[in-house]
């Protein structure tokens, strides 16, 4: 596997050529963020992270797969001993324009509104859909790819209340 050159706050990212998938491994002892009241964020649990993957598949038609769990030393201060990491994969999405791989805010807004989401005021790029109580945060341009099929979410935070 080839390590992807980009940096994320949540994962190490690799490209697996054999099946044209992106492999993401959370940093040891961390599992991203979750939404809190009023669209704020806090650290997620492993269960929230796995539920988030399930919701991405159900709500947005993603093809996220759990690849495994591994253990290693965390870089977080105060965490001692081996900590878990979750390894997932998803299809590699080819940008229609490699020089501008991410959609604009306006394109994301149009995409989200087409799925009946409304913007959460004061949230970190937050959206909400009343019909099924789905909240999405971190819906910023670098968490989407503009493909030949349109706007594709690749790393948003989704939850259901």
The DSSP secondary structure of 37-89, one letter per residue, reads GGG-EEEPPHHHHHHHHHHHHHHH----EEEEEEEEE--STT--SEEEEEEEE
Q: What is the pLDDT of residue 43?
A: 72
Q: What is the pLDDT of residue 14?
A: 93
Q: What is the pLDDT of residue 3?
A: 62
* Residue-wise burial string across 54-64, b where 16 or more C-beta atoms lie within 10 A, e elsewhere: ebbeebeebeb
Query: What pLDDT tens digit does each residue of the chain (161 aa) get?
Result: 656 555 566 778 999 999 999 999 988 777 776 655 555 556 778 888 899 999 999 999 999 999 999 998 877 666 777 888 999 999 999 999 999 999 999 999 999 999 999 999 888 899 999 999 999 999 999 999 999 999 999 999 899 98
Range of the domain at 97: 2-160
Tell me the three state secondary structure of residue 108: helix
Whose tokens are 């959460």? That residue is 120
51-18-142-73 Cα dihedral, nearest 10 degrees = 60
Tell me the three state secondary structure of residue 132: coil
Q: What is the pLDDT of residue 48?
A: 86
Q: What is the pLDDT of residue 83?
A: 85
Tokens of 33: 């963020």
CA-wise closest residue to 25 among 72, 85, 66, 71: 85
Tokens of 118: 């409304």
- Entry pTM: 0.84
Domain count, the chain: 1
| Residues 19, 140: Cα–Cα separation, whole Å | 27
Q: What is the pLDDT of residue 34?
A: 64
| Residues 75, 20: Cα–Cα separation, whole Å | 30
Q: What is the pLDDT of residue 104?
A: 97
Q: What is the pLDDT of residue 40?
A: 55
């Amino acid at each position: 596997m080839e390590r992807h050159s980009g940096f994320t706050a949540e994962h190490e990212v690799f490209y697996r050529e054999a099946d044209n998938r992106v492999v993401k491994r959370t940093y040891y002892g961390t599992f991203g963020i979750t939404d809190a009241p009023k669209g704020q964020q806090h650290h997620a649990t492993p269960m929230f992270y796995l539920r988030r993957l399930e919701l991405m598949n159900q709500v947005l038609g993603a093809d996220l797969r759990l690849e495994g769990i591994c253990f290693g030393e965390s870089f977080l201060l105060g965490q001692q001993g081996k900590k878990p990491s979750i390894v997932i994969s998803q299809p590699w999405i080819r940008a229609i324009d490699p020089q501008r791989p991410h959609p604009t805010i306006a394109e994301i807004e149009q995409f989200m509104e087409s799925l009946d989401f409304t913007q959460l005021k004061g949230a970190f790029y937050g959206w909400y859909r009343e019909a099924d109580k789905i909240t999405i945060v971190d819906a910023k341009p670098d968490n989407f790819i503009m493909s030949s099929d349109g706007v594709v979410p690749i790393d948003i935070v989704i939850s259901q209340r």
